[in-house]
Amino acid sequence: MNEKDILSEQSKLTPADLTRQLRQHLDSLRAAGVYWLPAEPPQAGGGSDGAVPIANASGPSPADDREQRRHELTVLAERVSGCQRCTELVVSRSRTVFGVGPLDAELCFVGEAPGATEDQRGEPFVGEAGQLLNRIIAACGMKREDVYICNICKCRPPGNRQPTAQEAGNCREYLERQLELVRPKFICALGACAAQNLLGTSQSIGKLRGRFHDYKGIPVLCTYHPAFLLPGRSPHKKRDVWEDMKKLLARMGRPVPGR
Ligand code: URA
Ligand code: URA
């Protein structure tokens, strides 16, 4: 489908279509923790799509104060939920999947992109891979509610293909701002796509894993993606992931449970 098709498609939207789109938009926001919206539209003066710049390049750092950051994360999630940058993903997604977790989470997991379950629910890592991620988090002595979880790409690519470089690039601004606002102390990149995109490298996950890298001063531990560990794939690699997580816990100054 090319842009012209999509535009003529849009013009054929019925009131019922618009209602459905609005409901999906609001679902995406609620899943991202957005419970209220400003009564007035944000100031104009953004990019060519009429969007407002997420960060103000001049003036005091907008991420200084916690309430301000909470508000800006809300605005960012709202902007992402209406994003039209990737023509293919705009039509294939049910909703955007922004991220979940507390501000100032000590640890942030970054995955690749939503799958089918996440696309339905609007929350990252809630499908099969997510269940395994939950067990990994629990094995580390942490709670899912205490960590922040997001993805490189906020929309589900059709057929669970990897996000293209262009799609990841389109989403980069959102990810960077999200991390700037959440301010995790540590990041765990899950799988090759997340690790390579976050760090801007083409090294294999086998080479990247088990070591600390740097993202804007934040230590980044790379490990295998939980989907890679599922039955039928490479469950024997769970041992490697556990070794990686123990390194992360040591660096975080946390005990290894069961020791
Ligand atoms: N895989 C990912 O990379 N992210 C999700 O949110 C779910 C599955
Ligand atoms: N390939 C990936 O993309 N991720 C993994 O974790 C393992 C293999």
The reported pLDDT for the residue numbered 223 is: 98
CATH number of 62-252: 3.40.470.10
114 lines ligand 1 (CB under 6 A): yes
224 lines ligand 2 (CB under 6 A): yes
Helix (H, G, I), strand (E, B) or coil at 13: coil
Give residue-wise pLDDT tens across range 20-49: 777 777 777 777 777 666 655 555 444 445
Q: What is the mean pLDDT of the chain?
A: 88
* End-to-end CA gap in the chain: 55
The reported pLDDT for the residue numbered 46 is: 43
Ligand lying closest to the C-alpha of residue 205: 2
CA distance 162 to 144: 25
Report residue 239's pLDDT band, with 50, 70 and 90 as the boundaries. Answer: very high
Pocket test for ligand 2, best of 201, 228, 230, 244 (most atoms within 8 A of CB): 228
CA dihedral 127, 115, 109, 77 (to 10 degrees): -110
125 lines ligand 1 (CB under 6 A): yes
Map out the domains of the chain as residue ranges: 62-252
Ligand lying closest to the C-alpha of residue 196: 2
Residue 158 has pLDDT above 70, yes or no: yes
Q: What is the pTM of this model?
A: 0.82
Nearest to residue 94, comparing CAs of 185, 31, 43, 48? 31
State mean pLDDT over 115-141: 98
Mean pLDDT check: name the lowest of 35-49, 89-103, 185-199. 35-49
The reported pLDDT for the residue numbered 43 is: 52
192 lines ligand 2 (CB under 6 A): yes
Ligand lying closest to the C-alpha of residue 229: 2
- 44 CA to middle of ligand 2, Å? 41
CA distance 25 to 18: 10
